[in-house]
């Protein structure tokens, strides 16, 4: 069935920005006497600004310093984002096919506007979406549904008739709370995404194309 709209998460789903975040997080931990591990990464993926601040306090043993740590991390990741950021496998082809089919596309991200704009521009994907919504533009970031509801509202699309693409449980919970059909494409291969209606290995999978209302033959 043709969806009213398709809304993409950004970090780790549309664009491979997680490497930039990992480099920034590694530097942050080193500055504060810690070592950034894969378990830390798993815990941080999809977290909102406020939630990530609390996690950093706990991980680094710095109570009350969470928002200062997040400000420091923001500066680090903005610097990392100046490097080229590549689209995830299948992302460019999927977005192009949806646009060719006349299906509205948007981005709904937990990241702040300045970071979102920088990485979309650096990846060459800026201008391909009718709407982009950043986490600092809504009252409640993911796992609340606000970013997805805002994207659908701006597109004039019914969330219940729209599809969301997500790489984390937090983001999938947000899209599900908005009433959308959720396709999970985990950034970490062994990460489970319980709220998702279906899970695929990449954006190039036939399952994703069909769930987005595209013919299996598109490439």
Active site residues: 9, 11
What is the spatial distance between Cα 166 and Cα 13, in angstroms, rounded to a whole number?
6
* 73-76, long-range: CB < 8 A, 24+ apart: 73/24, 73/25, 73/28, 74/112, 74/115, 76/23, 76/24, 76/27, 76/28
Contact 46, 188 (CB under 8 A): no
SS3 of 23-89: the string is HHHHHHHHHCCCCCCHHHHHHHCCCCHHHHHHHHHHHHCCCCCHHHHHHHHHHHHHHHCCCCCCECC
Contact 65, 52 (CB under 8 A): no
Contact 184, 199 (CB under 8 A): yes
What is the spatial distance between Cα 217 and Cα 82, in angstroms, rounded to a whole number?
36
What is the bridge-based pairing of β-strands 131-133 and 163-166?
unpaired
């Amino acid at each position: 069935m043709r969806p009213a709209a398709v809304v993409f998460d950004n970090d780790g789903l549309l664009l491979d920005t997680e490497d930039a975040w990992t480099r920034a997080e590694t530097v942050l931990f080193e500055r504060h006497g810690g070592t950034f591990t894969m378990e830390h990464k798993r815990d941080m993926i999809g977290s909102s600004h406020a939630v990530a601040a609390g996690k950093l306090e706990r991980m680094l043993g710095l109570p009350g310093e969470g928002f200062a740590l997040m400000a420091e991390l923001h500066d680090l990741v903005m610097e990392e984002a100046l490097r080229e950021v590549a689209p995830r496998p299948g992302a460019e082809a999927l977005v192009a096919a949806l646009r060719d089919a006349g299906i509205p596309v948007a981005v709904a991200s937990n990241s702040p506007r300045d970071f979102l704009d920088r990485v979309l521009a650096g990846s060459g994907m800026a201008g391909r979406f009718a709407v982009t919504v950043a986490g600092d533009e809504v009252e409640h970031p993911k796992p609340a549904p606000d970013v997805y509801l805002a994207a659908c509202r701006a597109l004039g699309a019914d969330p219940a008739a729209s599809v969301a693409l997500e790489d984390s449980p937090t983001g999938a919970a947000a899209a599900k709370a908005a009433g959308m059909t959720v396709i999970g494409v985990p950034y970490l291969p062994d990460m489970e995404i319980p709220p998702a209606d279906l899970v695929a290995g990449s954006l190039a999978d036939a399952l994703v194309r069909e769930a987005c209302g595209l013919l299996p033959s598109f490439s």
